[in-house]
């Protein structure tokens, strides 16, 4: 059994490695990563491990983002400080979890469960259901100040204060910064709405999520909608959806 540890606290890593060395399942730790970016790079560069032990709160964000950036094709056991009520989703999705501080007996039980379920092919489809549920539970958390974006083959951390707007087209979400730089992000606009400060970002229609300072001016359109001009300029007209005009007007005037 090969294991990747995703954990940003050194003492927690050392404890996990020690507990794993005592396990009757004879696991082998093949890698340790401490954040979203390093985990994505490791998974892209190395053979798939049998199992991942993954902390939810990492140094550069919540580990849920990893599943937007890379295909995770092995079971994951999350380590978390969430309370019993919050982790009900883990049970529903047949994935195990370990509440910190992790105890030897609980880790051994989780590894035994993994071996027993290995033939059931618990993969990223199950994880995706879990991640979506936990994202909904965490909407009350502080909005993000940083987002990971792709520039070619590189992952770049973008300060949300530098973002002008997001544009979604044919399943790809584009990020345009205030200095006219273009990136691609692995988030849907639905997901971004839950991550960003609602006083600063507004979903004007199915394709655009805009930051307040990127709006140059607004004007009525010929078809009774509301047109907005953005900086950087867009190749197409940006119209506020009819059902969003009232809330947009309230938002922009706050």
Domain definitions of the chain by residue range: 2-137, 152-252
Assign a CATH topology to domain 152-252: OB fold (Dihydrolipoamide Acetyltransferase, E2P) (2.40.50)
> For the segment 52-82, what is each residue's pLDDT rounded down to a tens digit?
999 887 877 778 788 878 888 888 888 876 5
CB-based contact 54:12 (threshold 8 Å): no
Specify whether the CB–CB gap between 76 and 103 falls below 8 A.
Answer: no
Fold of 2-137: Rossmann fold (3.40.50)
Question: The pTM is what?
Answer: 0.52
The number of angstroms, rounded, from the C-alpha of 174 to the middle of its chain's C-alpha atoms is 16
Q: Name residues whose C-beta falls within 8 Å of residue 175's C-beta, 6 or more positions apart in sequence.
A: 147, 149, 158, 163, 166, 182, 183, 184, 185
**pLDDT attached to residue 91:** 47
Q: Write out residues in the chain with pLDDT < 50, as ranges.
A: 84-86, 88-89, 91-94, 122-125, 140
């Amino acid at each position: 059994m090969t294991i990747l540890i995703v954990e940003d606290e050194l003492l927690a890593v050392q404890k996990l490695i020690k507990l794993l060395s005592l396990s009757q399942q004879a696991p082998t730790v093949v890698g340790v990563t401490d954040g979203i970016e390093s985990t994505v790079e490791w998974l892209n560069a190395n053979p798939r491990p049998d199992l991942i032990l993954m902390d939810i709160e990492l140094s550069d964000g919540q580990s849920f983002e990893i599943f937007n950036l890379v295909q995770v094709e092995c079971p994951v056991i999350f380590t978390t400080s969430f309370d019993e009520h919050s982790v009900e989703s883990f049970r529903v999705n047949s994935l195990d979890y370990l509440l910190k501080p992790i105890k030897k007996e609980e880790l051994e039980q989780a590894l035994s469960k993994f071996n027993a379920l290995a033939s059931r092919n618990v993969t990223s489809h199950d994880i995706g259901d879990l991640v979506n549920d936990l994202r909904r539970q965490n909407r009350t958390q502080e909005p993000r100040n940083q987002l990971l974006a792709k520039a070619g083959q590189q992952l770049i951390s973008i300060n949300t204060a530098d973002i002008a707007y997001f544009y979604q087209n044919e399943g790809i979400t584009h990020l345009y910064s205030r200095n006219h730089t273009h990136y691609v992000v692995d988030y849907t606009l639905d997901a971004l709405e839950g991550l960003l400060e609602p006083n600063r970002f507004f979903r004007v229609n199915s394709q655009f999520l805009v930051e307040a300072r990127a709006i140059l001016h607004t004007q009525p359109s010929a078809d009774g909608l509301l047109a907005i001009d953005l900086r950087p300029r867009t190749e197409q007209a940006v119209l506020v959806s009819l059902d969003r005009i009232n809330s947009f007007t309230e938002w922009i005037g706050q």
